[in-house]
Amino acid sequence: MKSFLFRCYMTLMKFLARFTTMEDNEIVILNGSGRSGSNGYLFYKYLQLNHPEYNVTLIEPWPSSHFGWKVWQKIGAARYIITTHQPFKVRKHQINVQFWHGVPLKRMGIMANNTKRRDNRRNEKLWHKYADIVCSSSDLYETLMSACMAIETKKYHKVGFPRLDALKNPVISKEQLLKDLFKVEDKDAQIGIYMPTFRYELNDPKIMERIKSGNFFAFDDFDIEKLNSALKERQQYLIVKLHPYEMRMFSNFKSKYSNIAFLNNDYLFDHDCDLYELLGDTDFLITDFSSIYFDYLHLNKPIVFVTNYLKQYEKTRGLLIGPYEDIIPGINVNSQRDLISNLDHLDNRQLRNLRLYWLNLTDQVNADSYCDKIFDFMTKGY
């Protein structure tokens, strides 16, 4: 019932917004990605800094039923509507630029094991009707997206993604990040970051209970004291960045451990930055099935893949590429014992070659500035 009423609300507001006069220098960014690799937010910052001739409005979180009429007037007046999730616009002559929010590794849309045909058909119609420019990074990206969303090939344009510009230009130094999160100065420190995918959809109370108790890896043999000691011995520091839903589950959010710290959105908002503007400070990534690993390839740094609930995830939702062990350019661990035993040798020549191989597959643009390329195309080339 709630979703039906929300669709009615959106339909009404879209209709009313059409009566606003459209202006060629108005850009609206509908950001549904928060501060974790948000193409929308990062492009907003770029436009404010580099293109003051345009009036740019960031609307977040999107979608929402809590926006006032002035917000909808902005949407109606915009020549360009930029989205990070479903494509959207209120009038025919607006241009929708679709960033999306990651190179798809997990199945979604018509390819997923846990979606409904009715919802999939609705999404297909939205992409067909509203998406004008679908930003792309490679043939592989286009193949994966179209497999899930049935997007026509003519909509794709290889211009890359704003989040890729942020990776190599941290806005906070590594030294400051260590002070802020770990209260230390350590010139020989290695910083790792753990970023798993959204695990709630596994629909497994056991996993959720483990996470709630502080076992953020959901390992059978999890022992945070031993993990912290192992990190401390190696001058390694681990930032834990979970999905916001999982962070809310924690009974004790603040870490009392010297080499493990939790990063939440408050820190990112307080520093007016996106997570990707900090990733360049890190020395290795730990993830599971999150597509962040495709982006992290641009840093050419070690990646560790946690696979203790791989089979369950493949059954519940599914992955687009496999076998999983053959597509990951990094170390595969399924227990804390495995993880600790690999902390001393996270990288080697074979893994570096694998990372470059997958980088070439997932990014054929390789631009000095992806934001410049996107801006020029949408305002001059389309």
In 3D, which of 131, 110, 91, 166 has the Cα closest to residue 370?
Answer: 166
Bridge partner residues of 240 (DSSP): 194, 262
Residue 39 token pair: 């193409």
Cβ pair 96, 43 in contact under 8 A = no
pLDDT tens digit sequence for 262-316: 998 889 999 999 999 999 999 999 999 888 999 999 999 999 999 988 888 888 8
Whether residue 87 is found in the same domain as residue 201: no
Residue 88 token pair: 């959207």
Residue 59 token pair: 């609307």
Whether residue 213 is found in the same domain as residue 257: yes
Whether residue 333 is found in the same domain as residue 219: yes
What SS3 class is residue 149?
helix
d(Cα 108, Cα 165) in Å, to the nearest integer?
A: 26
Whether residue 187 is found in the same domain as residue 336: yes
pLDDT tens digit sequence for 70-97: 999 999 999 999 999 999 999 999 999 9
Whether residue 203 is found in the same domain as residue 238: yes
pLDDT 10s digit of each residue in the chain, 382 long? 557 888 888 889 898 999 999 999 999 999 998 898 999 999 999 999 999 999 999 999 998 888 999 999 999 999 999 999 999 999 999 999 999 999 999 999 999 988 899 999 999 999 999 999 999 999 999 999 999 999 999 999 999 999 999 998 899 999 999 999 999 999 999 999 999 987 766 677 888 888 888 899 989 999 999 999 999 999 999 999 987 777 777 655 567 899 999 998 889 999 999 999 999 999 999 999 888 999 999 999 999 999 988 888 888 888 999 899 888 999 999 999 999 999 999 999 999 999 999 999 999 998 899 999 999 999 997 7
Whether residue 334 is found in the same domain as residue 209: yes
d(Cα 361, Cα 170) in Å, to the nearest integer?
A: 25
Specify the pLDDT at position 76. Answer: 95
Whether residue 130 is found in the same domain as residue 184: no
Question: Structural domain of residue 259, as residue ranges?
Answer: 169-362
CATH number of domain containing 34: 3.40.50.11820
Output the CA–CA distances (angstroms, integers) from residue 352 to 65, 75, 157, 299, 342, in the order listed: 47, 45, 29, 11, 16
d(Cα 113, Cα 169) in Å, to the nearest integer?
A: 38
Whether residue 150 is found in the same domain as residue 216: no
Whether residue 265 is found in the same domain as residue 375: no
Whether residue 129 is found in the same domain as residue 228: no
> Is the pTM of the predicted complex or chain greater than 0.95?
no
Structural domain total, the chain: 2
Whether residue 175 is found in the same domain as residue 150: no
CATH number of domain containing 297: 3.40.50.12580
